[in-house]
Amino acid sequence: MTIKKKNYFEELEKEYGKLSFGDVLKAFRASEEISQTDFAKKLGLSIQNVCDIEKGRRIPSPSRTARIAKKLGLPEKAMIEFSIRDSLKSEGLNYNVRLEKSIN
């Protein structure tokens, strides 16, 4: 019998509703008890940029999202999905996003 590994973020969304990239970033920072200033330094971003991302005023590109996820040890695929979904939502398009790794 095979047990399918559940996506942690899907479980969180079932419990708390749709998450955004900024929600996840802010929750990570809070759980690590890191100030925005120190978090910005860790990520190589400005404090204002971190603040804007956490509040949903700025949505990073998929490549920047991947770099942030790697620096934090978070799942790259899930974080990119959040970022793309946030971009679509900001354009008034309510879609869910699922990525597949391309085999080339």
Q: pLDDT tens, 57-100? A: 999 999 999 999 999 999 999 899 999 999 999 999 998 888 88
Query: Is 90 exceeded by the pLDDT of residue 54?
Result: yes
Q: What is the DSSP annotation of 41-59?
A: HHHT--HHHHHHHHTTS--
Q: Tens digits of per-residue pLDDT, 7-52?
A: 667 777 777 778 899 999 999 999 999 999 999 999 999 999 999 9
Place of tokens 């398009």: 93
Which of 79, 75, 97 lies closest to 88 in space, CA to CA? 97
Ranges of each domain in the chain: 18-90
Contacts of 99 (CB under 8 A, 6+ apart): 77, 80, 81, 84
User: In this model, does residue 56 exceed pLDDT 50?
Assistant: yes
Q: Find, among 59, 51, 99, the residue nearest to 83 by Cα.
A: 59
CATH superfamily of this structure's domain 18-90: lambda repressor-like DNA-binding domains (1.10.260.40)
